[in-house]
Structure 1
Amino acid sequence: MNLNLDVRANKMRIYDLKGKRLFLYQDEIQEMLLIAEDVHLLLRTFVETLIYTGCRISEALNMTRKDIHYHQQKITLKSQNRSGPVFRDVPVPHNYIDTLVAVHSILGGNDNNYEVKKPLWKWTRQHAYELIQELMIRSGVPAGGHRNPKGIRHAYGVNAVLCSVPLPFLKKWMGHSHISTTAIYVTCLQLDEKELVKRMWA
């Protein structure tokens, strides 16, 4: 794999032109997860899907029961590029997949072909976007370019890099075509330079 990490030519950013962040901090993510426990169960599983997989709204809305692999503890996501559909598997925490299975009756009920292919959430993209925005406001996320579903996706990438997930793995999980796109998250390391130095010389 070509590990060309030149992020200058990449149009995707995690800071805007004024240097303001376009991603959520982890304490904001944790507050969203806490608030989500008290909302409608379908909204809870939807926001947890965005947080724990880093997927796009459209990818979450495409999910069906057959995309949930309980025993393998992974989710299959489908995206679209010029060549057609592209599938990727994303590992997820057991607590998330347990909730998903319970709420959507993944391991029980009617497993005929029609039921298995039905979307888990029957929402339009716009409605899903508005629900997430409302939850962010309720969770106390301040206004800014980060207060939207893409801010959650960027938070996934930032958190992965801060936790030393190798870029090739992160590229696969996030569905990036080029590793130079994934490499934009390396720029967030400046936020935690003191911690990195501690690890380096510990």
Structure 2
Amino acid sequence: MLNMSEMSLHDSHGNRLYLNAEERAAFLDVARKQPARDRTLCETLHFTGCRPSELIEITPARIDLSGGTVALRSLKKRKDASGAQKIVYRTVPVPPDYLDTLNTAHGIREAQKSRKLAAAPIWPLSRVRIWQIVKRLMIEAGITDAPHRSPKGLRHGFGINATVNSIPLHMLQKWMGHAQLSTTAIYADAVGKEEQDIASRMWG
């Protein structure tokens, strides 16, 4: 089993495991042409960097429309000082346009008025079904058949996009639900805009 501290952005053959900026944009463009359920599902993965197993637990109660955040339950096992397992939630800021779409498609604000509806999953699907939806849209977006064409590739792409845009690692660690900062630090190794600008001077 892969140790989190050994997590990499490339496999043993050098293939990248993340979607680049162009692929992320193409995926989002295709997602926005889908029926409401698939569109919002894919936009949630794109804008929060969550895992499919975390996405299927999201309920209307965890959507803060006025605060502009989505609360996610980190499903990786954690233990407190006594050694007992603890439940960890994290909030991720998301774009207002995405929240407007989510509210319109799923009636989030209305659902929050009912305890029963507020606690019901927005996407009552299996992880396998989510994987199938994401893969279908990635194929439609023209993303190459390679290891990064997967929900995990989308999650890694979220991490890289954040570091390229100068999001502090400790903040990204919180958003991605990493227990250790060393895990988040792998995204700092990605080639960012600044590094490309400096390298371009050698080629100019």
- Is 1:77 equivalent to 2:72 in the alignment? yes
Aligned-partner residue type, residue 49 of structure 2: G
Query: Which amino acid is 1:22 matched to?
Result: L
- CA separation in 1, counterparts of 2:5 and 2:170? 17
For 1:77 and 1:19, locate their aligned partners in 2 and report how far apart those are by CA, in whole Å: 32
Give the corresponding residue for 1:173.
Answer: 175
Mapped pair 1:34 → 2:36: no
Query: Is 1:131 matched up with 2:133?
Result: yes
1:94 Cα shift? 1.0
Q: Distance in 1 between matches of 2:144 and 2:155?
A: 17
Cα deviations by residue, 1:19-48 (Å, 9 ceiling, x for unpaired) = 221000111111111111221110000000
Question: After TM superposition, what 4+ stretches of structure 1 lie above 4 angstroms from structure 2?
Answer: none
* 1:58 counterpart (53, 70, 73): 53
Of the candidates 6, 19, 33, which is equivalent to residue 24 of structure 1?
19
**How far apart are the structure 2 equivalents of 1:22 and 1:140?**
16
**Number of aligned residue pairs:** 191
| C-alpha deviation, 1:12, in angstroms | 1.2
Q: 1:109/1:57 Cα in 2 relative to 1: closer, same or farther (>3 Å)?
A: closer
Aligned pair in 2 of structure 1 residues 118, 32: CA closer, same or farther (>3 Å)? same
Q: What value does the CA root-mean-square deviation take over the aligned residues? A: 1.9
Task: Tell me the distance in 2 between the aligned counterparts of 1:186 and 1:9.
Answer: 15
In structure 2, which of residues 143, 155, 158 is the aligned counterpart of residue 156 of structure 1? 158
- Number of the residue aligned with 1:93: 95
**C-alpha separation between the residues in 1 aligned to 2:47 and 2:119?**
22
Deviation per CA, 1:123-148, whole angstroms, max 9, x where unpaired?
Answer: 11111111111111111000111000
1: CA distance between counterparts of 2:4 and 2:60? 39
Q: Which amino acid aligns with 1:49?
A: T
Paired residue type of 1:117 = A
Distance change >3 Å, CA 142–CA 114, structure 1 → 2: same
Q: SS at 1:164's partner residue?
A: coil
Q: One-letter code of the match for 1:68? A: I
Structure 2: distance between partners of 1:30 and 1:100? 19
Q: Counterpart in 2 of 1:122?
A: 124
Q: TM-score, normalised by structure 1?
A: 0.89
Shift in Å, 1:193: 1.7
| TM score, norm. by length of structure 2 | 0.88
Question: Any idea what SS the aligned residue of 2:5 has?
Answer: coil
Distance 2:144 2:194 in 1: 22
Other structure's SS at 2:110 match: coil
Partner AA of 2:44 in structure 1? T
